[in-house]
Amino acid sequence: MGAYAAAKHGVIRRDEERRARLRREGDPHQCGAPGPILNNRIASLPPERREPIVRAVPLGRIGTPEDVAAAVVWLASDAAAFVTGTVVSVDGGRLAGA
């Protein structure tokens, strides 16, 4: 998890620099940060290995690709026209500790 966390923070930091440049140009920009999302790797885990992942998510489930897609579609829509310069966590409340 250490390498994953370092890589994710690197992507967010790079995105912060890009957001600053785009703000100066007047373009809105967001960064999506998905949490545990059901993919082939997680799906292949036995239930006893998946259960701690589920317990770590306050909403009580692993996210789906559709959860991430819905957030991205919203961010790209006119409904989010005044949202800019933020990292949107699509993680079932994990980062917030909800």
How far are the Cα atoms of 9, 21, 85, 87 from residue 38, in angstroms, in the given order? 21, 33, 27, 21
Q: What is the rounded distance in angstroms from the CA atom of residue 7 to the CA atom of residue 32?
A: 14
89 noted as active-site residue: no
Of the residues 1, 2, 3, 4, only one is catalytic, namely 4
Q: Which residues participate in catalysis according to the annotation?
A: 4
